[in-house]
Structure 1
Amino acid sequence: MLLSACGSSGLLTTVGPDYQTKPLKAAANWQAPQSGENNLPTAHQGDPANLNRWWQRFNDPVLNRFLAAAQQESASVADARARIEQARANLVGADAALLPSIDSSIGAKRSSSSFGGAPFVWNQLPAGLQSSWEVDLFGGLARQEEAARSQLESRNASWHDARVSVAAEAANAYLAYRYCEGQVQIVQADTASRRESARLSEIAGKAGFRAPGDVALANASAAEGNRTLLQQQAQCERSIKGLVAMTGLQEPEVRKLLTEAPDRVAKLPIPPAFRIDSLPARVLLQRPDVASAERDVAEASANIGVEQAKRFPKLSLSGNITPTLQNINGGAFLLAQTWAIGPTLSLPLFDAGKRAADVEAARVQYQAAESKFRSKVRTAVKEVEEALVRLDSASQRLPEGRKAVTGYRANFLAVQQLYQVGLGNLIDVETSRRNVLSAEMALKELEQEQVSAWIALYRAVGGSWEAHDDARKIGAASSSAPSSGEPEKPDHYLNHQVDFTGGKS
């Protein structure tokens, strides 16, 4: 047991590389356009804590309900949680390998034997205690524990990444439906205008004040408006089906949630603005997928030591005590005591190069993990900068879009008035009407794009999850079942978040 106190390293030495985090290779500044103070997507010294419970600050109960349901039903979140439990079991097994194992047994046996004469009956009642322990001479078991711990930390981060991804997907699905509702309202107003124009043209045509061609054009315009409206309504129906599939809620409940608050119908959710840190390396620290990839590198590094230790001698101690009560032919029971204890030293002599090949394979896997980590970092930077570009572009285009709608609507009203007093023609009216509809739809699309860009930026900078205090309950939760009967929450990866500027925090 005194020797087992050296479980964090080998008794003689610890083979394999000692993993050290390396400085994160990221640019000194974001290579993306920065918006001004009024628009807020610009990179300042943003605090990641500002993203805590970001969704609740939308003040949209319907959105919150869909987010919670999607988290509960998501197969990717469930799979990530299962991987955490498997990694935790692996860590428990790796910790247990550093300590002696103790087993007990109890049995009863009745046998009969004869050696050419009268048979005799032999009753035996053995009770045994066995123990074995591998002395970690060269640190192979310590490296195995190190790899298992890194794997658990990686799985925790992957779980958070899955949750953030599902939240962004559910929010975008909800946004798509509200955007579709807004489009329906625009098309409904346009269709009503077309119908009224057709009705008035029909009356004027019957009275001989409008040419048959104008009447036909007005009716065609009304039919086109009806077709567009039906098409848009069908798109909204498909959006509802998508929400039902994503959240697992019954369709009547989804429809009720979407319509029970009339003030939210066709209203896009308003994202709370936040700033991001001006230093890319700091932003990347809160990306769970980046943290997961870095922990995979640490696991791969430890696995090199695990494979190297297999090339060295292995020492194990074993012992047993087996007292046995026994009697022959119904005689008095006698106690027979046996015990044994001793070391076993195994020496690898010849394996045709298998162990050396396993070490080389572990090194290659480490290099692959490093390459994947660097790729994750580049992808993270790209996603943040793309979201910044989208936000900047939307913020610049929105004022222009509003001006376009105002101008086209004023032109339409003027052309329509001229037509109504007989000084214009219907073709100009319908052309102007289409311009208004196109401008209004473009403006609604810009508004949707801006909200979607905020969600994309939230996702790109790593998102947020439950309050950090919930995550600090790891110790007791991981060693005992929760008393409430509900599944425990996986460990919060920020408890072992890697500081890529050096060291571990």
Structure 2
Amino acid sequence: MAGALVLAGCAALPAPPAVSAPVPPQWQAALPHQGSLSDLGQWWQLQGDPLLAELVAAAQAVSPTVASSRSRIEQARAARVAAGAALLPSLDASASLSRGRSQQASAEGLVPVVTTTQAGLQAAWELDLAGGNRAGLDAATQRLLGADARWHEARVSVAAETANQYYSLRACRELAGVTRLDADSRQETARISSLSREAGFTAPATDALARASAAEARGRSTRQAALCELDLKALVALSGLAEPDLRQKLAPAQVQQAQAAMFSVALIPAEVLAQRPDVFSAGRDVAAASADVGSAQAARYPALGLSGAIGLAGLRAGGSSVTLDTWTIGPLALSLPLFDGGRRAANADAAQARYAEAAALYRASVRQAVREVEEALVTLQSTGARQADAQAAVDGYTAAFTGTEALYNNGLASLLQLEDARRTLLAAQINRVTLAQERQAAGVALYRALGGGWTPALAPLQATADAP
């Protein structure tokens, strides 16, 4: 035992090197601090659209990704309980009862029936000399924390996907209205052109151009309506709501609004990264891999185990009884790994390699998080700056088209001039709707890049070993 303690004292397991993932001291893109600031976790409710918040909640409730992540939390919690049990003694109970005839006859020449009863308790405890079991518990704790963070990440991802699909449907319906009005306008021009041709004031080629333009517009409007149907069915699949119910909820006319509330972004990127569940989970993976290295290294050192037992036994035969009770403490067993063909060393090397992989993935997740926030900020600022220009373009092209249409109706402009004015107006209207959707998508991307309101304080357990 003294030798085992000496060997255990020599088994001071070196920790893997610390992991550093430098981040910039400040954001390079402009921050969206204009207007009212809202809580990131309640952002959907503050957008002034109750249907959006309802769809997000419904999608999170039926998402298989969220359900799978919740199941992984339960698995990780069970694994942590099992890892903690390795540090405690184990106790097993046993009992048996048997009856049979003895081979020896009694003095009267009878062969007695022997009844044997046994009961006992068996205890065993492995003394964690090298800290392998403690390292296993630390690894399981870190994986539980990471599983909880990944559940939040799944919920944020589903919310973002649902919001983008909803905004896509709204934009599609607005575009459908634009193309429908354009088709009606072209159809009216074709009708007037046909009357003018019949009266001999318009050439057949010009009338054919008007009819072709109307047909093209009808086809564009039909295609846009079909795209809206596809978006609707995708939203039904995401939310799990019945299609008739969703159609009824979408029936009221939607008024295009600017983003009702914008959340604040911390000036220091490190504060933002602390709100990212994926970065937090990657850090927990590093800590778990570090603990796995300790567990694998501990397997190369001596192991000491202690066992004991208490047994009760009784024999009854021919009216007489015999009691045979026993108890033992020990053995105190020492296991010394001498030769295993390099298996334990290979396991330690593999654990070290997994730690290096986890560290690399952690650094990559930090860089990706910074990139996603920067890109969302740039897109949000760009779309905001272009909104006024897009509206001004629509207003200008609308006035130009109205004037050209009046000239055409009075015979002072050609159909080609009218179609050109109509084409530029349609392009401007489509650009305005597309830009509004792009800005909404940028807001959703920033919501997702900032972690969706999650904070490590929501984790169910405090980490026993922080990730470097």
Same fold per TM (> 0.5)?
A: yes
Between the aligned partners of 2:258 and 2:412, the Cα distance in structure 1 is 44
2:329 to 341, 346, 351: 341
Between the aligned partners of 2:264 and 2:33, the Cα distance in structure 1 is 10
Secondary structure, in 3 states, of the residue corresponding to 1:158?
helix
| Residue 28 in structure 1 maps to residue 25 in structure 2 | yes
1:463 to 423, 427, 452: 452
Q: Which residue number in structure 1 is paired with residue 432 of structure 2?
A: 443
Deviation at 1:141, TM superposition (A): 1.1
| Residue 16 in structure 1 maps to residue 13 in structure 2 | yes
Q: Which residue number in structure 1 is paired with residue 291 of structure 2?
A: 302
Q: How does 1:44-193 map onto structure 2 within 5 Å? A: 50-114=39-103, 120-193=112-185
Q: Which residue number in structure 1 is paired with residue 199 of structure 2?
A: 207
Deviation larger for 249-258 or 187-196: 249-258
Gaps of 5+ in 1: 1-9, 41-45, 472-490
Between the aligned partners of 2:34 and 2:335, the Cα distance in structure 1 is 72
Q: Which residue number in structure 1 is paired with residue 233 of structure 2?
A: 241
Between the aligned partners of 1:22 and 1:313, the Cα distance in structure 2 is 30
Between the aligned partners of 2:409 and 2:245, the Cα distance in structure 1 is 47
Change (3 A) 1:140 1:38: closer
For residue 168 of structure 1, what is the amino acid of its counterpart? A
CA contact (8 A) 1:293 1:369 kept: yes
1:352 to 333, 341, 366: 341
Change (3 A) 1:271 1:118: farther
Secondary structure, in 3 states, of the residue corresponding to 2:42?
coil
Deviation at 1:291, TM superposition (A): 0.4
Change (3 A) 1:362 1:401: same
Task: Point out the structure with max Rg over C-alpha.
Answer: 2
Between the aligned partners of 1:215 and 1:299, the Cα distance in structure 2 is 75
Give me the TM-score of the superposition, normalised by structure 1: 0.84
Deviations 1:216-247 (A, max 9, x none): 22221211111011100000110111112212
Q: How does 1:235-314 map onto structure 2 within 5 Å? A: 235-259=227-251, 262-264=252-254, 267=256, 270-314=259-303
Between the aligned partners of 1:178 and 1:13, the Cα distance in structure 2 is 68
Between the aligned partners of 1:176 and 1:110, the Cα distance in structure 2 is 79
Deviation at 1:22, TM superposition (A): 5.3
RMSD: 2.7
Give me the TM-score of the superposition, normalised by structure 2: 0.91
Paired positions, count: 458
Between the aligned partners of 1:499 and 1:398, the Cα distance in structure 2 is 45
CA contact (8 A) 1:17 1:302 kept: no
Runs of 4+ in 1 over 6 A off after TM superposition: 115-118, 497-500
Between the aligned partners of 2:206 and 2:329, the Cα distance in structure 1 is 108
CA contact (8 A) 1:17 1:304 kept: no
Secondary structure, in 3 states, of the residue corresponding to 2:373?
helix
CA contact (8 A) 1:271 1:451 kept: no
For residue 383 of structure 1, what is the amino acid of its counterpart? E
Between the aligned partners of 1:140 and 1:357, the Cα distance in structure 2 is 16
Between the aligned partners of 1:496 and 1:394, the Cα distance in structure 2 is 41
Secondary structure, in 3 states, of the residue corresponding to 2:130?
coil
Between the aligned partners of 1:434 and 1:499, the Cα distance in structure 2 is 61
Deviations 1:406-461 (A, max 9, x none): 11111111111111111111111011101101110011000010011010011111
Between the aligned partners of 2:16 and 2:50, the Cα distance in structure 1 is 46
Between the aligned partners of 2:245 and 2:9, the Cα distance in structure 1 is 65
CA contact (8 A) 1:271 1:454 kept: no
Deviations 1:159-195 (A, max 9, x none): 1111111110111111111111111111111111112
Deviation at 1:16, TM superposition (A): 3.0
Change (3 A) 1:326 1:165: same
